[in-house]
């Protein structure tokens, strides 16, 4: 009995061993199970958002493609690269923790935090652009632009507009057109779509010249048209739906990234105190799992949101 007590006491004083566990192996297994259970419910959470995206995209593919084509693929691609590299530095953090290398742990954590901060900085740039362009889907949350006499109010662009976008990357001419559109009157900060519906007009032209070909879905024929004519206001509302999903999904992802940076800050402090070693590195490993999960979610978000429908205008 005494021998058992002494053994348990020795384990209790092991590095990082909590009093409710018999030994480090039991503690590590419990922590791993808890983290994987948390990640599973996160997968279900994001899974619901992805399902909503897929349902509405299948109903209104042209509107979603138009909205996607006004996201900057360069910034999205840069953020993808940044997160891939941050996953590498996070994996190296675990690697050096397992080898009791304090200095390299600290360096890798700092690099991971820098990449995470760069990611959030890029999102600020993107969100600011959408705010200035009137593409935030919540009424009153866009930049308020006083109206001048003769200026077209927000959301009332010509119904027959068929401006073509130059894809997949933005040119100076495209940037200038977007800048001009963003200057239209918007005194109440409403969502506004000043880019017409060129994909719908192209689809109609294709259907006209190729009898028997049906490009627009039945939902689109109901959702985009009034009296058998393209209705820009109805089309704008479907594009607005895309931006609702865009901001919800990327905003929640950014929130997870902020939580991840908080974890990295805590890990940095503990690593600086030389807490983690070959005998005790579970917190680093579990934090790494969370960080990799956030990165993987973005790997799916990037093509679904930024690269959607860019082949339509080729």
Task: Pull the structure tokens for residue 232.
Answer: 């820009």
Q: What is the pLDDT of residue 53?
A: 95
Distance CA 78, CA 72 (A): 10
pTM of this structure: 0.81
The residues pairing with 153 across neighbouring beta strands, listed in sequence order, are 185
CATH 2.60.40.10 describes domain 44-147+159-306? no
What is the rounded distance in angstroms from the CA atom of residue 71 to the CA atom of residue 75? 9
More confident residue, 279 or 18: 279
pLDDT band at 276 (very low <50, low <70, confident <90, very high): confident
State the pairing for strand pair 229-230/225-226.
antiparallel
pLDDT tens-place string over residues 199-229: 898 888 888 888 878 888 888 889 898 888 8
Element (H, E) at 39: helix 24-59
- Estimate to the nearest angstrom the gap between the alpha carbon of 237 and the chain centroid: 22
pLDDT digits (tens, 9 = 90+) for 103-161: 999 999 999 999 999 999 999 999 999 999 999 999 889 988 887 544 444 444 444 33
Q: Which residues contact 276 (CB under 8 A, 6 or more apart)?
A: 97, 100, 105, 270, 283, 284
Residue 136 near residue 192 (C-beta atoms within 8 A) = no
Q: Are 281 and 233 in contact (CB under 8 A)?
A: no
pLDDT tens digits for range 48-74? 999 999 999 999 999 999 999 999 999
What tokens appear for 238 in the block? 């479907």
Looking at residue 15, its pLDDT comes to 61
- The dihedral over CA atoms of 296, 298, 300, 304, expressed in degrees to the nearest 10, equals 180
In angstroms, the CA 245 to CA 54 distance is 10
Rounded distance between C-alpha atoms, residue 145 and residue 166, angstroms? 27
DSSP classification of residue 170 = -
DSSP assignments along 249-304, one per residue: HHHHHHHHHHHHHHHHHHHHHHHHTT--BTTB-HHHHHHHHHHHHHHHHHHHHHHH
What is the structure's pLDDT at 278? 84
Answer yes or no: are the C-beta atoms of 120 and 264 closer than 8 Å. no
Reported as a pLDDT band with limits 50, 70 and 90, residue 23 is: low
Residue 284 has pLDDT above 50, yes or no: yes
Q: What is the DSSP letter of 188?
A: T
Contacts of 106 (CB under 8 A, 6+ apart): 268, 271, 272
Are 213 and 207 in contact by the 8 Å Cβ rule? The answer is yes
């Amino acid at each position: 009995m005494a021998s058992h007590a002494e053994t348990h006491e020795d384990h209790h004083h092991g590095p990082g061993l909590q009093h409710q566990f018999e030994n480090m192996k039991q503690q590590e297994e419990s922590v791993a199970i808890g983290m994987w259970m948390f990640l599973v419910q996160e997968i279900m959470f994001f899974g619901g958002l992805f399902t909503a995206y897929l349902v509405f995209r299948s109903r209104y593919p042209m509107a979603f493609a138009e909205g996607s084509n006004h996201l900057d693929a360069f910034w999205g691609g840069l953020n993808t690269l940044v997160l891939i590299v941050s996953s590498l530095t996070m994996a190296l953090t675990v690697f050096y923790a397992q080898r009791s290398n304090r200095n390299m742990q600290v360096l890798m954590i700092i690099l991971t935090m820098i990449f995470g901060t760069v990611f959030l900085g890029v999102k600020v740039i993107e969100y600011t652009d959408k705010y200035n362009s009137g593409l935030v889907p919540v009424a009153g949350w866009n930049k308020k632009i006083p109206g001048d006499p003769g200026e077209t109010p927000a959301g009332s662009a010509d119904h027959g507009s068929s401006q073509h976008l130059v894809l997949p990357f933005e040119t100076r001419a495209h940037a200038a057109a977007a800048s001009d559109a963003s200057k239209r009157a918007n005194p109440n900060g409403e969502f506004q779509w000043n880019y017409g519906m060129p994909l719908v007009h192209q689809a109609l032209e294709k259907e006209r010249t190729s009898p028997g070909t049906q490009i627009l879905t039945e939902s689109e024929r109901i959702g985009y048209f009034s009296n058998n004519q393209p209705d820009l206001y109805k089309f704008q509302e479907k594009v607005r739906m895309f931006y609702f999903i865009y901001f919800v999904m990327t905003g929640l992802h950014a929130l997870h990234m902020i939580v991840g940076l908080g974890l990295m800050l805590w890990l940095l402090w503990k690593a600086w105190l030389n807490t983690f070693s070959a005998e005790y590195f579970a917190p680093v490993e579990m934090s790494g799992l969370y960080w990799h999960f956030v990165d993987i979610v973005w790997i799916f978000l990037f093509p679904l949101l930024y690269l959607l429908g860019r082949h339509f205008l080729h």
